[in-house]
Structure 1
Amino acid sequence: MKKVFNTLDRYRPYAPFLLRLAFGYQILDVVGHTALHPAEGVPGYADWLKSLGFPLPLVSAALSAYAEFFGAILIILGLWTRWAAVVLFINFTFAVLMGHLAIGDTYKNTFPALNILAMSVFLFLNGPGKPSVDEGFRTHE
């Protein structure tokens, strides 16, 4: 059995790619409308943040929406992956702490943000894997 698992090691660099696609799509699915239609999406997001006591809710909503939107695109492409992961980590730390835990939200509602938070840590520590734009840059150095 050990031999089988050792054989699979050659595919290890491709695992982060699957995570990048899945979680990047999840983020885009949630925030895409807000980022692509800011006149409609950002004010509603800002109202929700204001109800949670966020400072400068309109600015916070826009920053969060675009951090998630562009972060997701960078994660999917594998471009500046570790930097994008840091930005998403910061954003989703606030989301979990102030948008879920502070209001006593359920685990079920908090779970997607926790998943993205964990994925951000994974990608920051492990990098984008293959295929990725970052990996392409590394081979041409």
Structure 2
Amino acid sequence: MWVHGRTGVRLVFDHQHFWCWNPEGLDLRETVSAMVSTWPLGEVAKVHYSSPRTELREVSQVDRATGKRGVKLVPPVATGHADYVNPFEFAMFLRAVEGLDFDVMLEAKAKDLALFRLRADLQRYGQGLGARFGLAALP
């Protein structure tokens, strides 16, 4: 908000960065609302949404002692984007910011496949949230 106040530039809320870099402990809804308010009337604000990586990764490396190539399991980095979006976390986010108007831009390694999967997951698990995106709930 400091940057917006001095430059007038629109702000984009980034869900994952909010959780990774929020030392002040700002409130989610208040922060999204403040950032959405920086957009001019008639323009739809943008929100970036991603889930953090949670899986172990296999990294190929050379053993210094033997010179042989091997595979090492590396824990996930919380700031890395996942292949898909966690539908339960996304549903909680949507409930927390209900009533605010913005477009969601997904950041996921699987690109369009992540969107298609999230749409199906919202229909199945979203308890009516899919209707906000024109999706009918599945039985």
TM-score (norm 1): 0.27
Larger relative CO (CA 8 A, sep 6+): 1 or 2? 1
Say which structure is richer in strand.
2
Superposition TM-score, scaled by structure 2 size: 0.28
The structure with the largest alpha-carbon Rg is 2
